[in-house]
Amino acid sequence: YMGTAVTYGSGRGIVTSTGAHTEIGRIAEKLKSMKEEATPLQKSLAQLGRLLGLLCLVVCAGVFLQGFLTGGDPLALFMTAISLAVAAIPEGLPAVVTIVLALGMRRMAERNAIVKRLPAVETLGGVDVICTDKTGTLTQNEMTVVRLYAEGCDAEVSGSGYALEGEIRDQDGTLIDPEGTLSLRRLLEIGALCNDAQLAAEKDGAPGIIGDPTEAAMLVAAYKGGIRQERIASIRPRVAGLPFDSVRKRMTTFHEGFSDSPVLALVKGAPDLVIGRCISLLTPDGIRPMHPEDRDRLLAANSAMGSEALRVLAFAYRAFEVIPDLNPEKVESDLVFAGLMGMIDPARPEARDAIAICRQAGIRVVMITGDHRETATAIARDLALMPEGSRVLDGSDLDGIAEEELRQLSESVRVYARVSPDHKVRIIEAIRANGHVASMTGDGVNDAMALKRADIGVAMGITGTEVAKGTADMILTDDHFATIVHAVEEGRIIYANIRKFVGFLLSCNIGEILVIFLSVLLLGPRYAPLAPLQLLWLNLLTDSFPALALGREPGEPDNMRRPPRARDARIVDRRMIRTIAFQSVAIFGTVFAAFQIGRLVYPDVLMDGVSAPHDGARTFAFATLLLAELFRAFSSRSENLTVFETGLGGNRSMVQAVALSGVLLLAILYLPFLSPLFSTVPLSLRDWLVIVPLALVPFAAGELQKVLFRKKVRID
């Protein structure tokens, strides 16, 4: 089918249909009618919108009905209802949420994490399990062969990385010449020929590679043994091959030019699988049959290397008269064992620190690798990833475990070894079935399904295939594990900031509702303290600028020392409801007092023979409410810390937003062409001396509430 990813091999295709008639065309048609599942944030905001809309209808209808039954003017009642409707809806909330998420995506991109879907930014903040590959993510992916094991030879290889300097010495330190050891020579030859990598110098002259780091390490080891890839490949050319795949865990190439046979099949792969297919072994004196005790000895040598955190590959070969049918089961059997290579891939220093941060943040890190159990365990212990007594599962264990048992085991297992892509899918499904928000890393074509099943699929930008990148929600441009942790940290900051500005906007809006609703109930429909246009100004401009600034708030010091939020956590929880209620009442009390003081300073006037408040009284209330909301913005910068602990200069955007809103307030009050439009009057210095202290009351109440109800978070 068109769109299918070809992972290896060659062939011919015949076009049978095009466009919408192809399978991918039919899928595209179906996708048009499919709706993407809403994220928890989107669901919370939608629910909040419905609740506010219902509240708006009830309050507006109640005020209108109460006023109408008491003989109020229908036009005045209608204007009051409009005022309440304007006050109830936080008009800037959807735009602020989108802008904050987009800014978060940009910040993540600056830290080498490219997020492809906007809602994924929010999901990252809730991740409590990170499933990660080992090679290249937790380790440096710069393999170095340090051990060579062949019959009659147990050698160590000096040197580091892809530098060609180094020697091969036995356990006594004696220099070894591979030309004098048949089994060692054949081991290095297979490593150089059954290989798709190339050595190439970087622009700065430093050693570099083209291809897989593991294969490049074999070329370097062969070079140290006097075998040059270019020369031996020309003498013994490749004539056919079976590429590596994750099911067989082997690779085979066919070569001519050997003295042993017209065609030699060279095999490399997972030690347990390759050794199990050998019937003979190559010794310094020639080939002899492999006995059960030989097989046990070789597997023990493999385990010993693995326990030293070495990645081990086995090498073997088989002679043919002609190129056989390329059937892996037939070709990769009855092999002659040549030897083992042990490679080290040092752990990334930053990975240790990142795992420690995850532990503090209550995030569980799970290593999922195709390497041997001993190798994976050694690396996990080196990174302090695996607690003492923790169980390790490998692919064979997973094959014998039912789904329910895997769900239970997944809560305690930190390392999965020798896993296939299908195993990855089962693991991520088991973790998610327990209610966790999980991320999964992958780089291969076969990882696509596991990436899709995870809450956050993470693809490697350097080593990852295009299929993996296309499926993932996030791409790491540097392939580092620490980048995932940085992205989760940024996701937490963004979610915390969304809570801050949602709490800020709701406390302001509900405070405005109380100001209008209770004032009308207490004083009558004509005595609404704020005009509709003033409320619209507050909601669209005064509140939106500080809300945007709250979205750019830096993370708090304990951001990565808090436990992850639950999958079903509501953005408006009990704590926020308590804060909103407290602040809304404080805002109402302050603004109502300001309005009453304003009526004393600017006595009521007669309109159409009926008493009504002077514009000066409304200006008193408007200025007090606006300043109270700006002061409230500073208090909203943290749910736990007071302004004295966070300081005023930690967020320049907030200072600029408050300053801009303040300047616009002065423009409305003192510019002659704006003042009539907003029904305001210029205020005197004496007025300001009353307004500013009043506006500080909700701010002071909010700071006192933090001290009294401070929530301490501890993670054992």
| Residue positions annotated with a catalytic role | 133
Per-run averaged pLDDT (10 residues), the chain, 716 residues: 63 82 69 59 77 80 76 74 73 82 92 90 91 87 91 91 89 88 94 92 72 91 93 94 87 93 94 95 93 95 90 95 91 95 88 92 93 87 85 91 94 92 92 94 82 91 84 91 93 92 91 87 82 84 89 89 86 88 95 94 72 84 96 92 84 93 94 91 94 96 85 43
Cβ neighbour number for residue 39 with a 10 Å cutoff: 18
Distance CA 627, CA 697 (A): 11
8 A C-beta contact, residue 141 and residue 479 = yes
Parallel, antiparallel or unpaired: strands 456-460 and 438-442: parallel
SS (H, E, C) 656-686: HHHHHHHHHHHHHHHCCCCCCCCCCCCCCHH
DSSP, collapsed to helix, strand or coil, labels residue 165 as coil
Cβ neighbour number for residue 447 with a 10 Å cutoff: 26
Distance CA 268, CA 244 (A): 9
CATH 3.40.1110.10 is right for the domain spanning 144-344 = yes
Confirm whether 42-112+485-708 and 144-344 share one CATH topology: no
Reported in sequence order, the residue ranges of 587-690 that DSSP labels E, i.e. its strands, are 605-607, 610-612
Q: Give one DSSP letter per residue of 81-124, joined into a string.
A: HHHHHHHHS-TTHHHHHHHHHHHHHHHHHHTTEEE-SHHHHHHH
Name the CATH topology of 129-138+348-479. Answer: Rossmann fold (3.40.50)
- Give the per-residue pLDDT at 715: 40
DSSP, collapsed to helix, strand or coil, labels residue 152 as coil
Task: Name the pTM for this structure.
Answer: 0.78
- Give the per-residue pLDDT at 523: 84
Q: Give the domain ranges of the chain.
A: 42-112+485-708, 129-138+348-479, 144-344
- Give the per-residue pLDDT at 18: 84
Query: Quick one: which of 181, 160, 162, 161 has its CA closest to 170?
Result: 181
Distance CA 656, CA 117 (A): 30
CATH for 42-112+485-708, options being 3.40.1350.10, 3.30.70.100, 1.20.1110.10, 3.40.50.300 = 1.20.1110.10
Structure tokens at 369: 């690798």
Query: Quick one: which of 265, 262, 285, 286 has its CA closest to 277?
Result: 265
Burial of 396 (0-12, 13-18, 19+ CB in 10 A): exposed
8 A C-beta contact, residue 492 and residue 125 = yes
- Give the per-residue pLDDT at 205: 65
